A = this chain, B = another copy of it.
Amino acid sequence: MNYFVHPSGLCESETVGEGTRIWAFAHVLPGARIGTDCNICDHVFIENDVILGDRVTVKCGVQLWDGLRVGDDVFIGPNATFTNDRFPRSKQYPEAFSVTRIEHHASIGANATILPGLTIGQYAMVGAGSVVTHSVPPYAIVVGNPGRIVGYATNHAAVTPEPHAPHMGSSTVTGVRGVQLREFPIFEDMRGALTVGNFAGEVPFAPNRYFMVFAVPSKDVRGEHAHKICEQFLICVRGRVRVVADDGKARQEFLLDGPQRGLYLPAMTWASQYAYSADAVLLVFASHAYDADDYVRDYSAFLALVSEQDKLR
């Protein structure tokens, strides 16, 4: 094969793709499988049970342990550190090492630490110096120790209500197919405030059930799934939460922060909720009864379904 190994580098594997370069003091064990056009920098160490896709960059000082699966076009920053044993003790080995998956186009920041057994979703970005303790959803941006989602990579500007806008009934056009942001009027007088929505009118469907999500630790993301036929209408009646809606092509973020603001999600919308305030209560109306088969929980499966439905149109 046509790949390059620096004279001071050690490459014991022969499964290395064309155009890949392996630099000085790097060491690749015999079982590793490495794709084409990769860049393996100085002082990198790669064990046997490791698979790298194409066009992967591994910067200096990184070790890739048994159990690591790296997709195409992944970037791994310098001194980023992986693990494969949650409670390591010397000379005591788990039955099987945890598998860490880094999906295509993800980026691992310099000197980040990734705990064992996690998946870093496609296009996700882990900030430099972060310590990642939970799996990272597709497109999510994670920073800090412990790592928290601080945003999502989207392709439409976020919709954040103006703080002191008059609360008029209105509907905002969004960049995501079918998604509507409804603003209901607030009626205030000395007795307090009131807001009203009519089902199958302002709320675009007759609900089959409601549920409420509350007492969510702010570190957590809820949702991260789509429904095949169920429509939903989300209102944050107390506190605030951010919702990212995704139709498979366009992604947009919405801040829900009051009982007068509802977000309509049609079927086949991938949605993530994050940055819950401590007091947040999220009320959701759903158009259909609970049906486990209606959920699409894997983003790749969601993309496949979207693609399939688009062909039928």
Residues of A within 8 A of B (CB): 8, 10, 24-25, 27, 37, 41-43, 45, 55-57, 59-61, 63, 65, 73-75, 77-79, 81-83, 87-91, 105, 107, 109-111, 113, 115, 125, 128-131, 143-146, 163-166, 188, 190-199, 201, 203, 206-217, 220-222, 237-238, 259, 276, 279, 281, 283, 289-290
Instruction: Report the 7 A-B pairs with minimum CB-CB distance, sorted nearest first.
Output: A129-B131, A192-B216, A113-B129, A164-B164, A81-B111, A75-B90, A196-B211
Chain B nearest Cβ from A169, distance in angstroms: 13
Q: Which residues of B contact A41 (CB under 8 A)?
A: 45
Q: Which residues of B contact A129 (CB under 8 A)?
A: 81, 113, 131, 145
Q: Which residues of B contact A208 (CB under 8 A)?
A: 198-199
Chain B nearest Cβ from A26, distance in angstroms: 9
State the CA gap A223–B111 with chains docked (Å).
Answer: 32
Contact indicator A107/B87 (Cβ below 8 Å): yes
State the CA gap A102–B88 with chains docked (Å).
Answer: 15
Contact of A90 with B192 at beta-carbon distance under 8 Å, contacts A199-B210, A237-B238 already known: no
Chain B nearest Cβ from A199, distance in angstroms: 6
The answer, among B10, B73, B194, B207, for a CB contact under 8 Å with A90, is B73
Q: Which residues of B contact A43 (CB under 8 A)?
A: 25, 43, 45, 61
Copies in the complex: 6
State the CA gap A109–B43 with chains docked (Å).
Answer: 20
Contact indicator A216/B199 (Cβ below 8 Å): no
Q: Which residues of B contact A196 (CB under 8 A)?
A: 209-212, 290
State the CA gap A178–B168 with chains docked (Å).
Answer: 37
Q: Which residues of B contact A207 (CB under 8 A)?
A: 199, 207
Q: Which residues of B contact A163 (CB under 8 A)?
A: 164
Q: Which residues of B contact A144 (CB under 8 A)?
A: 145-146
State the CA gap A79–B90 with chains docked (Å).
Answer: 16
The answer, among B77, B89, B91, B213, for a CB contact under 8 Å with A83, is B77
Contact indicator A109/B89 (Cβ below 8 Å): no
State the CA gap A279–B146 with chains docked (Å).
Answer: 25
State the CA gap A208–B145 with chains docked (Å).
Answer: 46
State the CA gap A89–B216 with chains docked (Å).
Answer: 32
